[in-house]
Amino acid sequence: MKTIIEPFRIKSVEPIYFTTKEERKAILEKAFYNPFRIHAKDVLIDLLTDSGTSAMSSNQWAGIMQGDESYAGSSSFFRFEESVKKITGMPLVIPTHQGRAAEKIIFTILGGKGKYFISNTLFDTTRANIEFSGAEGIDLVCEEGKHPTIPALFKGNMDVEALKKTILKLGATNIPMVIMTITNNSGGGQPVSMRNIKEASQVCKENKIPFFIDACRFAENSYFIKLRENGYANKSVLEIANETFSYADGCTMSAKKDAFANIGGFLAMRDLDLAIRCRNLLIITEGFTTYGGLAGRDLEAIAVGLQEILDEHYLQYRIRSIEYLTNKLIAAGVPVMQPAGGHAVYLDAKEFLPDIPVDQYPGQALVGALYEHGGIRGVEIGSLMFGKYDTDGKLIPAQLELVRLAIPRRVYTQSHIDYVSEVIIEVFNKRNEIKGLTIIEETPMLRHFTAKLKPII
């Protein structure tokens, strides 16, 4: 059978509110052409993020009802801890209210001026947390990862040769951590191979640098390894995940992705001294060590979700639905990142809108067009998110100008996805009408969340 069906049925629904194109035009203008400023009720299909937007299962909701809200020593914590240990094999588990809080803690302890954190590609909040501590972030994605439309199997890989050279150049003592992001989100949700994880880990071990995994989408990455890497076809996703984490000294995780939770995250590690320092900081900004700023019920939902994600029927359906949308767009000639990633479709805005220069933010312009035409909300991952200014105030653009359409887990059906592809193709056919944007207000850090823009006429 060719058709892959969802390994679940729907138990509870949430209505979608319809808007007309004229209404959306006015909404977009009022939101200063920034999708983060649009009210959720004004969005038809919300592909802003796959983070925290999953539909929970009936088992997770049952867990929600069983949450133990005790301030200290909650039974929900112990179930959560066991679930994390089963996957990561790491003995020390610290809950946090989200992934960025886990990052904040680890970078506050290990970061600071003169330090460098190396990654395949750091995500926006990760980079912001590193820079906030005074340290610098360095991306060393492999060559294939830099070319959106050329397919390759593991475009999320780290360039291990470049890693060695960078360590030599900067000195191992100035590098408190190497972080492997799986899958590589900013690089298109592309997977990292086991071989690459192993090699990078080896280099870190030789240089006594802690090797951490940003594990938000560990299950999607594990499934890609199963599909694409020699020797893993007959291994279970859990076995592959176990092996992945076995090469690491620790991990950060936003449970809002591959744990089907609406809120939550954690830090896990092997080093007790580091864990004690993390816990001391945790109590100040997050909460006591057995709740970390989460309700007991959310610990339950994560504990259950982490096990559900390992189901291969689910992962097959998940990866194939992303592929389904990607292939529809490729067939219509729309420039998209290839091959399909694990959690999102990435439009290549530079090729989509070749007449709009990078300092007029083609990605953001495309985001606006998709909303206006079809009520679809995506997000720019390009020079608005990652661009910087040089000392003369001139824009230093990002490497890629992408628009990410992240697919929430278990939320939308095939007909929603068909609608999305129709809207994109329609916008592609009318792409000459799209205008560039200019910023009228911005903040120095993480500007894309709140910036105000207007079209250049």
Partner 1 sequence: MKTLKQSWAEPYKIKMVELLKMTTQSHRRKAMSEAGFNTFLLKSEDVYIDLLTDSGTSAMSDHQWAGMMMGDEAYAGSRNFYHLEEVVKNIYGYKYLVPTHQGRGAENILSKILIKKGDIIPGNMYFTTTRLHQELAGGKFEDIIIDEAHDPENEFPFKGNVDLEKLEKLIKKYGAKRIPYVSMATSVNMAGGQPISLKNLKDLRALTKKHGIRVIHDMTRVAENAHFIQQREKGYEHKSIREIVKEINSYTDGATMSAKKDALVNIGGFLALNDWDVFEEARNMVVVYEGLHTYGGLAGRDMEAMAIGILESVNDNHIHARVGQVIYLGEKMIEYGVPIVKPIGGHGIFLDAKKFLPHIPQDQFPAQTLAAEVYLDSGVRTMERGVVSAGRKANGENYYPKLELVRFTIPRRVYTQAHMDVIAESVANVYGRRNKIKGMKMVYEPKYLRFFQARFEKLK
Q: Give the tokens for residue 102.
A: 């886990």
In angstroms, what is the minimal distance from the CB of 228 to partner 1?
A: 30
- CB closer to partner 1, 174 vs 285: 285
Q: Coil, strand, or helix at residue 17?
A: coil
- Which residues, in sequence order, are CB contacts of 454 under 8 Å at separation 6+? 32, 33, 437, 438, 440
Given the complex with partner 1, which of 12 and 415 has the nearer CB atom? 12
Query: In terms of CB distance, is 38 or 194 closer to partner 1?
Result: 38
Please, which residue, 191 or 368, has the CB nearer to partner 1?
368
End-to-end Cα distance, the chain: 52
The residue among 140 and 453 lying less far from partner 1, judged by its C-beta, is 453
Give the shortest CB-216-to-partner 1 separation in angstroms: 14
Nearer CB in complex with partner 1: 78/324? 78
| Minimum CB distance to partner 1, residue 439 (Å) | 15
The enclosing H or E element of 364 equals helix 362-374
Smallest distance from partner 1 to CB 292, Å: 10
Cβ at position 278, least distance to partner 1 in Å: 12
- 240 versus 294: smaller Cβ distance to partner 1: 294
Which parts of this chain interact with partner 1 (CB under 8 A)?
12, 14, 35-43, 46, 48-49, 51-53, 64-65, 67-75, 78, 97-98, 100-101, 104, 125, 128-129, 132, 262-263, 276, 279-281, 283-289, 291, 293-298, 443, 445-446, 449-450
Q: How far is the CB of 17 from partner 1 (least distance, A)?
A: 10
Q: How far is the CB of 255 from partner 1 (least distance, A)?
A: 11
